[in-house]
Chain A
Amino acid sequence: MSRIDRRFAALKAAGRTGLIPFVTAGDPSPQHVVALMHALVDAGADLIELGVPFSDPMADGPVIQHASERAIAKGVGLNEVLGWVARFRQRDAETPIVLMGYLNPVEIHGYARFAQEAVQAGVDGVLLVDCPLEEAAVLQPLREAGLQQILLAAPTTAPVRMAQLCGSAEGFLYYVSFAGITGAAHLSTGDIAARVADIRAHAKAPVAVGFGIRDAASAKAIAGFADAVVIGSALVERLAGATDAEEMTMRVHAFLAPIRSALDAH
């Protein structure tokens, strides 16, 4: 059983909704990524999505675009990200880590080389936004090395395709709550609930919902019907400009604590 599968099994056994924060690796500060990751776990994260910065993040809104630009300007690339994961693993062997990003950095790094280095560092899965199921053959070396490919499903996904995604999902299936880019702020929980219920009936894997979740209230609304919630832009925005580990840790706790309690109270 993979680390991701174990984590979701434990959540289910405890009757809890998972909390998955997203941060862009290297933002706000490349010096404090590992401390930031530990702070996320201390504040209640069940799984961490670590964004690999890319110059052309087509599916991201301004908050994550700018975080990526700042990280790239400080020289952050896959080598640095994998190094941080390895250091995080020295103290935390349990929290699953999914690298989220776009295909080109992995393609240029080399699929086989990436697979080997990522597993060695302690990465559990990848969510490559611009690599849909149809193109996933290139990820075969990742799969063979034991990395799980997290698939996305969207409101536009047609029924036949949704069945395919449900059948192929591993780790968890990430349901994008609305047709749009990250950081946009509309959430219509009624539509999402129906769709997620349908997916959960068909998918072997648990379902996480992301896009548009910004605070305790929106997290709680989703918690009623999803296995986990993903919070990205609102957190990245909150962290922007923090300069030292202490400040980052404070902001992480202030931001995640009410969300964690809302999820646990539901």
Chain B
Amino acid sequence: MPTIDDFHAWPDVHGRFGNYGGSYVAETLMAPLAELSEAYLRLRDDPEFIAELDRDLKHYVGRPSPVYHAERLSQHVGGARILFKREDLNHTGAHKINNTVGQALVAKRMGKPRIIAETGAGQHGVASATVAARLGLKCVVYMGAVDIERQKINVYRMKLLGAEVVPVTSGSKTLKDALNEAMRDWVTHVADTFYIIGTVAGPHPYPLMVRDFNAIVGREARAQMLEQYGRLPDVLTACVGGGSNAIGLFHAFLNDADVRIVGAEAAGEGIATGHHAASLAAGRPGVLHGNRTYVLCDDNGQITETHSISAGLDYPGVGPEHAFLKDAGRAEYVGVTDDEAMEAFHLLARTEGILAALESSHAVAQAIKLAREYPKDGIVLCNLSGRGDKDVHTIAAREGVEV
């Protein structure tokens, strides 16, 4: 177990979070990754870049997002107060835009005219298509054929925004395969293409860069807590697919030892059934998509197909920083089933008038469980990572309703 007291010091210069992270990629990508690291590490401290990013986040994304006390939900649950960090209110409807605005600015500074992205739920694809349209960049989005079917609305949104959506039919035809295909595109077009990875996975510097761009969520929330409540929350929770919204919320609080941190992974039909996507709760250390992290794989090292009702959590790996936080004992990772997420979705809709994304509904379900563990004056802060408009068809189909 790493003995460390400054969680903000990671990753090291090689992009390693303890035993996790790194750059496990083919030789051809080593140079473009080095170029990206060099550019990003320079921009990260460049006051002009930071000012431009802040302006975009404020005027285009609509930041800061509020911290909202869900009183009726809290009352209904009968435990601690449940607060939501409202990333669902961002432009394009999820936290994903924080990262794409940032990476698109990096792409622009690096002079790359073409961006590519992978997407699962389509939120990252939409957010990438959005920033590409705004900056006049060509945009190609890779999406698993299965996900294209279950997230039709987002596919159409991407097309309206001028992006080309390429169906991926290899492997399990979901997010992991879209990521493979985007990597193959990148390796073939390294000179003019910028790959905007949508979560804190991939090779260094992506887990660092994507975390940095989403860490605004936790920085705002921490300040908002102190301002509105004069204290920090007792416990944080967020859903974990690749882990970007979760690390976004968690990062600013990592050195606040009294704040408990719980990530909610997709337990699908239940971890015991094997039909799930809970890499941290039920996986083992391995190497996937350019980094060492927890993965779901068989004894031959083949990555296994995952299941979740939410496309955005349907991923057999997870960002390496979460693997590190798990081993260090700083964060806990637990599973939330499809049914529990659906129940939380409905409860939130009826008590608060908020349609949450299916991904975020996993976090809501976990927040409800946690609220029951704390006294009435306790505070559970939950990242409401996105809104549910994109999921209306999936939910209707699951419930046998025609729309």
Docked complex Cα distance between A35 and B296 (Å): 34
Instruction: Find the A residue at minimum CB distance from B303.
Output: A55
Inter-chain CA distance A152–B31, complex, in Å, is 13
Whether, in the assembled complex, B170 has its beta carbon less than 8 Å from a beta carbon of chain A, the answer is yes
Neighbouring B residues of A55 by C-beta, 8 Å: 171, 297, 302-303
Q: Which of B28, B32, B176, B287 contacts A104 (CB 8 A)?
A: B287
Cβ contacts under 8 Å, B32 to chain A:
156
Are the C-beta atoms of B26 and A104 separated by less than 8 Å? no
B289 at the interface (CB under 8 A from A): yes
Q: Is the CB of B14 within 8 A of A56?
A: no
| Contact of A261 with B by CB under 8 A | no
B24 nearest in chain A by CB position: A130
Interchain CA distance A45-B201 in the complex, whole Å: 40
> In the complex, what's the smallest C-beta–C-beta distance from B199 to chain A, in angstroms?
16
* Cβ B286 vs Cβ A107 within 8 A: yes
Q: Is the CB of B28 within 8 A of A109?
A: no
Contact assessment for A103 and B24 in the assembled complex, using a CB-CB cutoff below 8 Å: yes
Chain A 166-197 per-residue mask, 1 if CB under 8 angstroms from chain B, else 0: 00000000001001110010000000000000
> A220 to B18, alpha carbons, bound, how many Å?
48
A224 at the interface (CB under 8 A from B): no
Q: Which of A132, A158, A176 contacts B23 (CB 8 A)?
A: A132
Determine how close the nearest CB of chain A comes to the CB of B289; give it in whole angstroms. 7
Contacts of B135 on A, CB cut-off 8 Å?
A: none
Does B30 have its Cβ within 8 Å of any Cβ on chain A?
Answer: yes
How distant is the Cα of A59 from the Cα of B32 in the complex, in angstroms?
15
Q: Is the CB of A134 within 8 A of B27?
A: no
Q: Is the CB of B301 within 8 A of A152?
A: no
A184 touches B171 (CB 8 A): no
Residue-wise, chain A 9-27 has the 8 Å CB interface mask toward B (1 for contact) of 0000000000000000000
> Which of A58, A77, A104, A176 is within 8 Å of B286, CB to CB?
A104
Give the number of chain B interface residues (Cβ < 8 Å): 39
Given the complex, which residues of B lie within 8 Å of A62, measured CB to CB? Answer: 170
In residues 331-364 of chain B, which contact A (Cβ within 8 Å)?
none
Residues B301 and A59 in contact, CB atoms below 8 Å apart: no
B169-187 contacts to A, CB under 8 A, are 170-171, 176-177, 180, 183-184, 187
| Neighbouring A residues of B113 by C-beta, 8 Å | none
Q: Is the interface of B mostly helix, strand, loop or mixed?
A: mixed
Cα–Cα, bound, A109→B297 (Å): 12
- Interface residues on chain A, number (Cβ under 8 Å): 44
Residues of B within 8 A of A179 (CB): 28, 187-188, 190-191
B29 to chain A: which residues have CB within 8 Å? 156
Instruction: Name B190-213 residues within 8 Å CB distance of A.
Output: 190-191
Interfacial chain A residues near B187, Cβ < 8 Å: 59, 179-181
B102 contacts the other chain (CB 8 A):
no
Q: Type the 1/0 row for A117-161, where 1 means its CB is closer than 8 Å to any CB of B.
A: 000000000000111101100000000000000011111111001
Whether a CB of chain B sits under 8 angstroms from the CB of A241 is no
Q: Does B300 contact A (CB under 8 A)?
A: yes
Chain B 145-165 interface 0/1 with A at a Cβ cutoff of 8 Å (1 = within): 000000000000000000000
Q: Which residues of B contact A59 (CB under 8 A)?
A: 26, 28, 184, 187
Please judge, given known A-B contacts A56-B180, A61-B184, A134-B23, whether A156 and B288 are in contact too, CB under 8 Å: no
Partner of A184, one of B31, B180, B188, B300: B188
Known: A104-B295, A130-B24. A157 touches B290 (CB 8 A): no
Instruction: Give the complex CA separation of A103 and B293 in angstroms.
Output: 13
Nearest chain B CB to A74's CB is how many angstroms away?
A: 12
Chain A residues with CB under 8 A of B287: 102-104, 107, 130
Nearest chain A residue, comparing its CB with the CB of B299: A108
* 20 A-B pairs with C-beta separation under 8 A: A54-B302, A56-B288, A56-B289, A57-B180, A66-B170, A77-B299, A102-B287, A103-B24, A103-B287, A107-B287, A108-B286, A131-B24, A132-B27, A135-B23, A156-B28, A156-B31, A156-B190, A157-B31, A176-B26, A180-B187
12 additional A-B residue pairs with CB within 8 Å, beyond A59-B28, A154-B26, A161-B31: A54-B302, A55-B171, A58-B25, A69-B171, A131-B24, A132-B23, A132-B27, A134-B30, A135-B23, A152-B26, A154-B27, A181-B188
Q: Which residues of A contact B (CB under 8 A)?
A: 53-59, 61-62, 65-66, 69, 72, 77-79, 102-109, 129-132, 134-135, 151-158, 161, 176, 179-181, 184
